[in-house]
Amino acid sequence: MNENRLQSLVRETALVGGVPPQDVEIVRSPYRVCPLGAHVDHQLGNVTGMALERALLFAFVPRADSLVRVQSRNFPAEIAFRLEHCPDHPPGDWGDYLRGAVAALRRGYGVGRGLFGIVDGYSKVGGLSSSAAVGVAYLLALERSNDLDLGPLENIELDRLIENEYIGLNNGILDQSTILLSRRDRLLHLDCRTTRSE
C-alpha cells in the first residue's frame, strides 16, 4: 500500500472532519482479478479469484449521532443523510453503494451511529471490481462505527444484498468473496452453489 497516499487521506479526513489524525480509522478493500469463471458466479458455477495489492481506501471517523457524511476523491459533491432516512431505492448517484450498505445492515443488525469519511480509489481499469470493493469498505466502516463484529460470510451476503437487491444488479458472490476470503500468495477457489471456498 502506498504510505504517502494513506497518510494524505488520513490528514485530509482529520482536517475536514475536525478531529485529530489518531481518531481516523482506515478500511483497505482490495481490488481483485478472476483467472477462471468470471460471470458464471451468478449461475452458481466454480470460480477462482485473487485479491490485489491495489486497493480502495476509506478513511472514516465514527459519529455519536446517526448522520452519515461521505466525500470522494474521485467524484464531486458530498453524500449526506441520516441512517433513519436512508432511501429504500437508490437515487442513482455515487452514494448508492453507501446507502445500500446501510439498507443491508438495517435488515438484520442495528445501526444507529453514523460516520464521516473520505473514500479514495475508484479504479479506472475495468474488471477489477471496484464496486464490490467500495461496498465492502462501507460495510466494514459502518460495522466498526456500530460495534458490530461480523465475519466474512456475513459480509459476503450483505454485499450481495447491496448489489442484487438495492442496486438491482444480477451479480453473484465472486467479487466480495475474493475481497474478503483471499490470502496472500494464494488462489481462491469458490463453489458458488455451496459457497464452499479453499
Please check whether residue 177 is in contact with residue 188, taking contact to mean a CB–CB distance below 8 angstroms: yes
116, 120, 126, 131: CA torsion to nearest 10: -20
φ, ψ for residue 118 (rounded to 5)? -130, 130
CA–CA separation, 36 and 40 (whole Å)? 9
Catalytic residue among 88, 175, 185, 191: 175
From CA 18, how far away is CA 112, in angstroms rounded? 21
| Short-list 184, 185, 194, 162, CA closest to 175 | 162
> Would residue 175 show up in a list of annotated catalytic residues for this protein?
yes
Angstrom distance (rounded) from CA 163 to CA 93: 14
DSSP 140-192: HHHHHHTT----HHHHHHHHHIIIIIII-----SHHHHHHHH--TT--EEEET
Residue with cell 465492502: 136
Amino acid in the structure at residue 30: P
Question: Where in the sequence numbering do the catalytic residues fall?
Answer: 175
